[in-house]
Amino acid sequence: MHVFKQHTALTEWLNSSKAKDQTIGFVPTMGALHEGHMALVKQAVQQNSVVVASVFINPKQFNNISDYEKYPVTEQADITMLEKAGCHAVYIPAVEDIYPETAVHIPLSIPHLENILEGPNRPGHFDGVVQVVHRLFSIVNPDRAYFGLKDFQQCKVIQALCKEYFRNIHLEFCPTLREESGLAKSSRNMRLTDKGKFKAALLYKALKMVAADCYRIPLQEALKEAGQYLAEQGIIVEYLSCANSETFELTEDWQTNNRNIVLIAAYVEHIRLIDNLQF
C-alpha cells in the first residue's frame, strides 16, 4: 500500500490509474480507525479498481480546542488496518497540504442542514466538513466515496455538497456498525472506560424505545420518555429529536413510509457521542 503525505504525489499516482480507466473509490477518515471504517474500505474494494483512504484530523471541524487536542492519533495502526483491508493508498496530509491558503466558506443551497441539531451545537463544524470534503474530493476526484450513516446529518450535508459541486461522484452511505451491546462503533469510544461503554450503549436502547412507540403514543411523548430514561442513568442529553429522513427537517409528528429518523447527541464521561435510528 502506498502512503502519501503530499497531494501532488497522490494526484500523480491517481492519474496513472485513471489513464487505465480504473475506477477510484475513496474513504475519507479522521483516523483512529475501527471496524466501521474497515467496512467502508471493504465495500470500496469490492466496487472499485483502486481504493484510497485519507487520514486527516480536520481542525476546522472542532469548535472545542480541547476536543481536538484529545482526539485519538493512531497513525501506524491505521496504516496497518487499511493495508489488511485491501486499501491501495492512504493520504495522510499535514494541515498545510489541505489548506494551503485561507479556506473560504463554501455555501450550500439547503442552509437548514447546517442550522439544526449538530449545527448550532457545534458552531462552524459543518463549514469545516464542507471545506475539507470539497478539498479532498478536488484532490482525489473519485468515482465513488464512502461514508457511515452514524453521522447522518453529515451525510446529508455531503450529499448537498455533491449535488452542487461534484455531480460526477457517486456517494455510498453505509450502515452503522455496532458492538454487541448496541453501542455504535466510533473513534471516540477509545476514550471511554468499560463502565462508560456500558452506559453509552444505553443511547441506542433509548432510540429503540422511541421506535417501539411509533404510532402508539405521540412522538413528543415518546421522545420525552426516552430522554427521561437516559437522564435517570446519569447521561446528559444535548438533543433527542426526530426528523424526516429524506428532507431532514425536524418534525413534531411521526412520519409515514418509514421516514422517521431519531437522532441523539449526549455526553458520557464528558465525551460527546452521537447516534441515530431510522424506522
Residues designated catalytic = 37
Q: Is 124 left (phi over 0), alpha (psi -120 to 50) or beta?
A: left
Start-to-end Cα distance in the chain: 39
Give the CA count within 13 Å in the CB-facing half-sphere of 196. 15
Closest among 135, 168, 146, 163 to 10, alpha carbons compared: 135
What residue type is 82 in one-letter code?
A: L
Measure Cα distances from 139 to 86, 151, 203 in Å: 21, 23, 37
Q: Are 265 and 118 in contact (CB under 8 A)?
A: yes
Measure Cα distances from 250 to 133, 154, 174, 264 in Å: 25, 15, 23, 13
Q: State the pairing for strand pair 271-278/260-268.
A: antiparallel
Give 155's DSSP letter: H
Closest among 93, 92, 90, 88 to 23, alpha carbons compared: 88
Q: Which residues pair with residue 260 across a beta bridge? A: 244
Give the CA count within 13 Å in the CB-facing half-sphere of 78. 23
Question: 125: which 3 cell numbers?
Answer: 463544524
Q: Are 173 and 36 in contact (CB under 8 A)?
A: no
